[in-house]
């Protein structure tokens, strides 16, 4: 399976120019600390990428447009270090179509009651800013996840990780190609479905390919590549058979199908597929072992033309 670039999550900190350069420099510094510690914690499945602190409507809209167009960005995490007037966010939130996490936290785990002063209160207004941000996302009915808790706590990071995995699934769905070799099993309803609606709602592309297309790929598989894959099978599986010649004939056929399928899927950019036992013209057998090995590599699969299961498995 071809590997794309690793997905990232952008960390956007909200503030405003009212506070002055010294305060904003501290906002930048504190935001970087949070990002660095989240990445060092080991709980998150992907890295968080710090982005410049946002203080104007123009900056916010620009960064959201960049997030939308950047294929490596899988989602956006927003945190208000200070108060950040929510009307500044309307334009940016209006264009964002990627998963949004509102991280309702504060930089300090505990308040320094002995030394707290107006400068500290001016800098640390997350309770105020996050409530304002929460208001506008609710007012705009923006799909989002809200996580409240200190960013350093394991429980908070675990919840962020769960959100990330959901966001990665959304990203995968929007780019998913499920290749169908033939149609679903004749007269069966549950494996049928509205492929146009799946593309509109989920982003799935579900094209069909003739089994002859796969047969053509099978014919091009080199004998040496089959030999290498059989050696790999021997290392991973304990074979048991009564007729060695018969067994290896069919096992080699499975190896041929696995190599052909993987090459075909990679060539069209598909990460899931379905087959149908009623459409095997030119094939000697269903690609059973081949399918199991491809699923182990991360490909989604559904039998009898079940493209919906194939997509969900992926």
Strand partners, 272: 178, 300
| 24 alpha carbon, distance to own chain's centre | 33
- Angle at alpha carbon of residue 177, lines to 176 and 179, rounded to 5°: 150
Nearest to 97 by CA among 183, 175, 170: 170
In whole angstroms, give the CA distance from residue 248 to residue 123.
Answer: 71
**H or E element that contains 8:** strand 8-14
In this structure, are residues 38 and 155 in contact, taking their beta carbons and an 8 Å threshold?
no
In whole angstroms, give the CA distance from residue 170 to residue 185.
Answer: 29
In whole angstroms, give the CA distance from residue 44 to residue 161.
Answer: 5
pLDDT digit string, tens, across residues 231-289: 999 999 998 888 989 999 999 999 999 999 999 999 999 999 999 999 889 898 999 99
Task: Please state the pTM of the whole predicted model.
Answer: 0.86
In whole angstroms, give the CA distance from residue 82 to residue 64.
Answer: 20
| CA distances (Å), origin 224, targets 33, 80, 287, 288 | 53, 59, 20, 21
- Angle at alpha carbon of residue 252, lines to 250 and 255, rounded to 5°: 115
For residue 48, pLDDT over 80 is answered with yes
pLDDT digit string, tens, across residues 4-38: 679 999 999 999 888 888 889 999 999 999 999 99
How does residue 213 score in pLDDT terms, banded at 50, 70 and 90? very high
Sheet of 178-181, strand order: 208-209, 178-181, 272-274, 300-302
Q: Give every CB contact of residue 16 below 8 A, 6+ residues apart in sequence.
A: 55, 82, 83, 84, 85, 88
In which residue are the tokens 């080199």 written?
222
In whole angstroms, give the CA distance from residue 57 to residue 197.
Answer: 35
In which residue are the tokens 């308040």 written?
111
pLDDT of residue 110: 86
Instruction: Delineate the domains of the chain, giving CATH numbers in brackets.
Output: 8-174 (3.40.50.10940), 178-313 (3.40.275.10)
Strand partners, 302: 274
In whole angstroms, give the CA distance from residue 107 to residue 84.
Answer: 16
One-character DSSP codes across 195-210? HHHHHHHH--B--EE-
Residue that wins the pLDDT comparison between 239 and 125: 239
How does residue 3 score in pLDDT terms, banded at 50, 70 and 90? low
pLDDT digit string, tens, across residues 84-101: 999 999 999 999 999 999
């Amino acid at each position: 399976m071809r590997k794309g670039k690793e997905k990232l999550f952008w960390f956007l900190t909200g503030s405003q120019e009212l506070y002055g350069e010294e305060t904003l420099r501290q906002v930048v510094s504190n935001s970087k600390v949070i990002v660095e510690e989240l990445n060092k914690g080991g709980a998150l499945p992907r890295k968080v990428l710090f982005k410049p602190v946002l203080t104007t409507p123009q900056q916010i809209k620009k960064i959201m447009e960049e997030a939308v167009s950047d294929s490596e960005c899988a989602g956006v995490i927003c945190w208000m270090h200070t108060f950040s007037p929510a009307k500044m966010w309307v334009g940016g939130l209006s264009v964002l179509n990627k998963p949004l996490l509102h991280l309702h936290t504060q930089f300090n785990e505990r308040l320094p009651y002995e030394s707290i002063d107006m400068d500290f209160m001016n800098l640390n207004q997350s309770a105020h800013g996050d409530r304002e941000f929460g208001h506008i996302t609710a007012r705009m009915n923006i799909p989002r996840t809200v996580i409240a808790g200190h960013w350093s706590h394991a429980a908070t990071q675990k919840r962020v990780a769960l959100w990330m995995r959901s966001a990665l699934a959304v990203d995968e769905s929007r780019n998913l190609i499920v290749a169908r070799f033939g149609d679903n099993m004749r007269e069966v309803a549950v494996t049928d479905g509205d492929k146009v609606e799946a593309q509109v709602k989920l982003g799935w592309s579900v094209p069909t390919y003739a089994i002859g297309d796969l047969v053509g790929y099978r014919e091009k598989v080199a004998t040496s590549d089959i030999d290498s894959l059989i050696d790999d099978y021997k290392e991973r599986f304990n074979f048991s058979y009564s007729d060695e010649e018969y067994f290896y004939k069919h096992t080699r056929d499975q190896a041929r199908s696995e190599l052909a399928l993987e090459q075909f899927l990679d060539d069209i950019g598909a990460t899931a597929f379905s087959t149908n036992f009623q459409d095997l013209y030119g094939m000697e057998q269903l690609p059973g072992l081949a399918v199991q090995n491809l699923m182990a590599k991360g490909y989604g699969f559904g039998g009898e033309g079940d493209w919906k299961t194939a997509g969900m498995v992926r």
